Amino acid sequence: MAVNNYVLCLDVGGTTIKATEYLYSVAGEMILERFAYLDYGRDLEDDSSEEAAALHNSMMADAVKKIILENNFKAKKVNLCLSGKNTYIKFVKLPSMVSDEKKLKQIIEFEAASAIPFELDGVVWDSQIISKDPEQAEIEAMFVVVKREELEFVTDLIEKLGKEVVLIDVAPTAIYNAAKANGIGTEGCEMILNIGGSCSLLIFADKGRFFTRLIPIAGNAVTHQISKEFGISYADAEEMKRKHGFVALGGAYEEPDSEVATVISKIVRNVMTRLHGEINRSINVYRSQQGGRKPDKIYLSGGSSVMEYTLRFFEDKLHIPAEYFNPFQKIAIGQEVDKEMLAEFAPAFPETTGLAVRNATTCPLEVALVPVSMRRCRDFRERSTYFYASTVCFLLIVLITFLCFIQQKEITGEKHTIADKRYRELKHVGDRVRNAANNFNSQKGAYDAACNILKERSIWPEKLEKIQDLLPEGVWLSSFAFGVAANEPKKEDNRSRRRRRQQEEMMFEEPSFDEPKAPVAPTVFDTVNFTCHYLKKNDEDIRGKFLANLEKSGLFQLTKDAAETMVQTVSPGAGAYNIVTFKISAKLKDNVNR
């Protein structure tokens, strides 16, 4: 249990409000920090009109507000106890053969539906198994019923004052828990008689058994009789009872000097005698119907039990020891508590003590009267806690995601800046590389062109040398010219025609080392024109032999038919000295560019 865990125990009676605040330490010690007692007015039980009920509720609401607000209680949690007057308790017996808790609960609910004398929708009820002895034929159970309207009125009132009602009990069970916490009824059967304002509660603590009976005779009955006897108001009668009231002993005892005190004492004795008669009937019911034992002792509690000679009266009438019930004897008392005043009012606080022990230990009777509205509020609070926690987690996830995005954006921006800087550096290098590559390609093209030119310089000597070797003996070559390729345009202008003629008639000349001229598109040659000479006296087929040599050389594309058409004999002119001239036009296998 956490440090500084305060709980306010509030008992809302018919005419009084009692409050005690407890502090629960880490070691589990229960400390009484402060207490308060307030009598809020006349009992209106004889008036059942709606106006009287509304007036009573208004007086009670004002008393609850006053006792909570004026005493500065620190506790936020409240354990609430309702008066026995507003409580209906019914004892039933169930078959012990039922061991299944679920089935037992169903049987209890069925019994409650038939035993509760109210509409179930209009009440709040709870059940408690009192004894479950496997050797007995029946299980004893108890129903505690409270009207929902009255319960919700009190709980709403308390929660509007900023408190949270966490536990709701009733006076009989709360007093029984307080008695058991103080060892009452542990060894034998003992009774607790709580004489309140509007009713009295008789509670039997018989080891592990519990029985209670509400008796509608209490302090207000004395006040009503005084009011009728003297013809005074209820408030004046109450004041007179507090000032002169005691229980007349009767017999040979000397009467008081005051006539008023004598009359009041006799009124009190008459009321107490009636109460004694109800106690005797209750004992007989408990022993006959519940199988209980005769009480060995009686404890008195309640605000009306402190009238003088009340304790002695019940000792004489019941013939058993009587003692006032001090519920604080096993509870630590705080330093700020007025111990003398507490000793005076101690018998009036068993209900709040019974509420307090519910937070400290497991009690014999743990009644929990929770109205539907409060249950819904609790469910909502429990769910809202998870909802708020989920919402906080969701917002944290969104926030973390947002921060991650921001960080990622910053990292991406930094990377982009570095990449852009690197890109500009590499782009400059790339431009230099591309320029160098273009320059290299340009130089390589020039180099390749130069290499091609150098390769072509040996073409003509090699071809001429081969052709020279192909000439038959006695034949010499006087003219050697290239012919334009057949795929050249047939239509020629004058300049091209002139150039072609010059090329056909061109002989080997010395190379010119003039200034280079503008480049001219190369001309493709596919034929070679030969002009050959030999002596006429030679009867050999010089032309055929030369053609055969040309064909064998692999440089020309010649056939027999082609050779005949390409060979042209020129008759020697005057002064030729028997020299035969002929021309041959041979088609090259590989074209020559120039």
Cβ neighbours of residue 249 under 8 Å, at least 6 residues apart? 269, 309, 312, 313, 316
pLDDT band for 380, please (50, 70, 90 cuts).
Answer: low
Last residue of a domain, one of 268, 302, 324: 324
Asked if residue 275 is part of any domain, the answer here is yes
User: Domain of 532?
Assistant: 459-507+521-593
Phi, psi of 6 (to 5 degrees): -95, 145
Count structural domains, the chain. 2
Which CATH number does the domain housing residue 257 bear?
A: 3.30.420.40
**CA–CA dist 390, 316 (Å, integer):** 67
Asked if residue 60 is part of any domain, the answer here is no
Residue 119 has pLDDT above 50, yes or no: yes
Residue 129: how many CA atoms within 13 Å on its side-chain side? Answer: 16
| Candidate from 46-60, 133-147, 218-232, 548-562 with smallest mean pLDDT | 548-562
User: Residue 511: what pLDDT?
Assistant: 44
Contacts for 361-364: CB closer than 8 Å, 24+ residues apart: 361/181, 363/177, 363/180, 363/181, 364/176, 364/177, 364/180, 364/208, 364/210
**CA–CA dist 376, 146 (Å, integer):** 18
User: Residue 172: what pLDDT?
Assistant: 92
> Do residues 19 and 9 touch, judged by C-beta distance below 8 A?
yes
Asked if residue 559 is part of any domain, the answer here is yes
* Averaged pLDDT for residues 538-544: 71
* Averaged pLDDT for residues 340-354: 92
Asked if residue 112 is part of any domain, the answer here is no
Asked if residue 234 is part of any domain, the answer here is yes
At 32, which amino acid appears?
L
pLDDT band for 62, please (50, 70, 90 cuts).
Answer: very high
**CA–CA dist 212, 201 (Å, integer):** 7
Listed ranges 39-43, 208-212, 478-482; the one with the highest mean pLDDT:
208-212
**CA–CA dist 381, 389 (Å, integer):** 12
More confident residue, 366 or 564: 366
Cβ neighbours of residue 556 under 8 Å, at least 6 residues apart? 528, 550, 586, 587, 588, 589
Cβ neighbours of residue 256 under 8 Å, at least 6 residues apart? 262, 265
pLDDT band for 22, please (50, 70, 90 cuts).
Answer: very high
pLDDT band for 132, please (50, 70, 90 cuts).
Answer: low
Closest CA to 130 of 102, 159, 96, 88: 96
**CA–CA dist 569, 562 (Å, integer):** 15
More confident residue, 73 or 471: 73
**CA–CA dist 465, 482 (Å, integer):** 16
Residue 59 has pLDDT above 60, yes or no: yes
> Do residues 156 and 371 touch, judged by C-beta distance below 8 A?
no
* Averaged pLDDT for residues 1-21: 83
Listed ranges 16-25, 54-63, 88-97, 109-118; the one with the highest mean pLDDT:
16-25
Give the tokens for residue 243: 């000032």
| Candidate from 5-14, 199-208, 390-399, 424-433 with smallest mean pLDDT | 424-433
Instruction: Dump pLDDT digits (tens) for 569-586.
Output: 555 554 455 788 888 888
Last residue of a domain, one of 291, 324, 357: 324
User: Residue 70: what pLDDT?
Assistant: 92
- Whole-structure pTM over 0.75, yes or no? no
Cβ neighbours of residue 401 under 8 Å, at least 6 residues apart? none
Asked if residue 469 is part of any domain, the answer here is yes
Asked if residue 453 is part of any domain, the answer here is no
Instruction: Dump pLDDT digits (tens) for 496-520.
Output: 666 656 555 544 444 444 444 445 5
Residue 8 has pLDDT above 60, yes or no: yes
Closest CA to 78 of 187, 161, 207, 165: 165
User: Residue 563: what pLDDT?
Assistant: 43
Residue 296 has pLDDT above 90, yes or no: yes
Residue 491 has pLDDT above 60, yes or no: no
Residue 561 has pLDDT above 70, yes or no: no
**CA–CA dist 349, 324 (Å, integer):** 12
**CA–CA dist 212, 194 (Å, integer):** 11
User: Residue 534: what pLDDT?
Assistant: 82
User: Residue 447: what pLDDT?
Assistant: 87
User: Residue 466: what pLDDT?
Assistant: 79
Which CATH number does the domain housing residue 463 bear?
A: 3.30.70
User: Residue 200: what pLDDT?
Assistant: 92
Residue 20 has pLDDT above 50, yes or no: yes
The mean predicted confidence, pLDDT, of the chain is 82
Q: Mapped to the 3 state alphabet, what secondary structure does 233-274 carry?
A: CHHHHHHHHHHHCECCCCCCCCCCCCHHHHHHHHHHHHHHHH
Asked if residue 144 is part of any domain, the answer here is no
Instruction: Dump pLDDT digits (tens) for 35-51.
Output: 999 988 665 555 557 78
| Candidate from 208-222, 342-356, 567-581 with smallest mean pLDDT | 567-581
Per DSSP, 421 falls in state H
> Do residues 60 and 12 touch, judged by C-beta distance below 8 A?
yes
Last residue of a domain, one of 292, 324, 356: 324
**CA–CA dist 22, 352 (Å, integer):** 10
Instruction: Dump pLDDT digits (tens) for 396-451.
Output: 999 998 898 898 888 988 888 898 888 888 888 888 888 888 888 888 888 888 88
